[in-house]
Structure 1
Amino acid sequence: MTETASTYVLIPGAWHGAWSWRPVAERLRAAGHRAVCLTLPGTGDGDDPSGVGLQDAVDHVVSEVERRDLTDVTLVAHSWGGYPLTGAAHRLSGKVSRAVFYAAQVPLRGRSLLDDNPPEAAAWLRSLIDASPTHSIPPTLDFVQGIFMQGAEEEAQRLVAELLTPLPGHYFLDALDVPGVTELGIPALYLLGEDDRALPLPGTEFAARLGLEPVMVPGTHEGLLTHPDEIAKAILTG
């Protein structure tokens, strides 16, 4: 690694795991940096998502940073991963030097992801959770084709749909009792895909919660898979 090497801890979005960040991580490593891709509790292959909540995700990010004795860390989150990033940053404030939100929700104190969705969408998501024996939200090909990777090759869409895992329902139902990361004095960056359709609010509104304008990058919500060169470059230079 170079003398100016940084450490990036990459937090996946809903239904995703460490695999989703690997193309970007490989490019960060090729540039001389350390990159750690996380899979959050309840979302690993074969995991039981029942009984898993947002605090478990926050705890996992914190424990991985501490277990690996990482310092001068840049936390990078995709999509819903903005929630565990925000919670972990408050407990790791002495170890975190930067936060990057990529097509990510920026949570408000006391407000869950469902609270940030339009009422009809929130009611639909809650109905999926209530109907599930594991209190989870199943991934579907429709999600991928309609809002995650619209316009991509069908083969790629089907592959991603098969890699996604059921999401613990409380990841969407739980809220954080902490303010935003910028109130800690941590520098932040907000990246937004030019063709992103998946966010429940305009990306500009989430960026504004950090006092930022979004930096636009190519791709849909899954640009980390389809445009890893551009996403890695934006993380490094943004």
Structure 2
Amino acid sequence: MSNFVFVPGVNHGGWCWNPVGRRVRDAGHAAYALTLPGLTLGDDTTGLQLADAVKYVVDEVERRDLHDVVLVGHSFAGVPISGAASRLRERLTHLAFFSAFIPRSGESMASALGPQTAAWIRATAEASPGGTIDLDFETLSTRLMQDEPAVLQRMVFEQLTPHPGGYVLDAWEGEDLRTLGVPMTYLLAERDIALAAPGSELASRLGVEPVMVPGTHEALLTHPDELAGALLKATVTPGN
């Protein structure tokens, strides 16, 4: 049995991993979906930094005393799980990224999105009392869930929470993940148009080829059967 620990992306909580997590449990494994500090309704987001997100992932795995961990991150969560990986190395059996950003040392997610977007993110966070950034419905419906039914887009949008700006503005400082000695997988949604760089390029930073799954950036909600199946095959199937 493996312990799958799921970490969500920008504006999302652990709820977004529930459909995949249930299927992982049905396959005989344990599943834990984390919600990073500041992303539960009513949380104080003031002053939260990327280091807080990384520490939370590490602390939760250690607090639960989990071993044989498959650490999984979606979208932005590629950054905090990259930061947590070196500190959890002895507990990990696999690192899995789903349509996730793979940071290079000294790079923030905001900077990877380009100077104009990075400037907007910084200005928005500085203008927000809690230092957060938010996602508008147009962006979700045209970039993250394009061509999905409007009622589903609206349902997902209503679950979103403002995201601590420091999480995406802070640069990641760490070693090349390929030196960790932990197997890694990059799963990529076939219709994802929301990534900071082409999925094949991001996967190459791990030294792997992307494993394709159906759907858009939010395929963890719209195609959980396919994503869970691909994740299990890549991480716990003998020989992988």
Determine what percentage of the aligned residue pairs are the same residue: 50
Matching of residue 178 in structure 1 with residue 167 in structure 2? no
**Aligned amino acid, residue 140 of structure 1:** D
TM-score calculated relative to the size of structure 1: 0.96
- 164-173 vs 126-135, greater mean Cα deviation: 126-135
Distance in 1 between residues matched to 2:127 and 2:13, nearest whole Å = 24
Distance in 2 between residues matched to 1:66 and 1:122, nearest whole Å = 33
- Per-residue Cα deviation, 1:121-162 (whole angstroms, up to 9, x for no partner): 222222222221211101221221121111111111111111
Matching of residue 89 in structure 1 with residue 85 in structure 2? yes
Distance in 2 between residues matched to 1:13 and 1:68, nearest whole Å = 22
Specify which of 184, 188, 192 is matched with residue 184 of structure 2.
188
Distance in 1 between residues matched to 2:187 and 2:61, nearest whole Å = 23
Matched with 2:101 is 105
Matching of residue 147 in structure 1 with residue 160 in structure 2? no
Distance in 2 between residues matched to 1:97 and 1:46, nearest whole Å = 35
Q: 1:107, 1:180 within 8 Å by CA — same for their partners in 2?
A: no
Distance in 2 between residues matched to 1:121 and 1:174, nearest whole Å = 14
CA RMSD across the alignment: 1.0
Structure 1 gap segments, 5+ residues each: none
Distance in 2 between residues matched to 1:125 and 1:152, nearest whole Å = 26
Q: Per the alignment, in what secondary structure is the counterpart of residue 74 of structure 1?
A: strand
Residues 18-167 of structure 1 mapped to structure 2, 5 A cutoff: 18-167=14-163
Aligned residues: 234
By how many angstroms is 1:70 displaced? 0.3
Distance in 2 between residues matched to 1:62 and 1:183, nearest whole Å = 19
Distance in 2 between residues matched to 1:139 and 1:180, nearest whole Å = 30
Structure 2 gap segments, 5+ residues each: 235-240
Matched with 2:195 is 199
Distance in 2 between residues matched to 1:209 and 1:156, nearest whole Å = 33
Distance in 1 between residues matched to 2:120 and 2:210, nearest whole Å = 29
**Aligned amino acid, residue 206 of structure 2:** L
**Aligned amino acid, residue 14 of structure 2:** A
Distance in 1 between residues matched to 2:23 and 2:174, nearest whole Å = 33
Residues 209-228 of structure 1 mapped to structure 2, 5 A cutoff: 209-228=205-224
Q: Per the alignment, in what secondary structure is the counterpart of residue 104 of structure 2?
A: coil
Q: Per the alignment, in what secondary structure is the counterpart of residue 86 of structure 2?
A: helix
**Aligned amino acid, residue 142 of structure 2:** G
**Aligned amino acid, residue 135 of structure 1:** G
TM-score calculated relative to the size of structure 2: 0.95
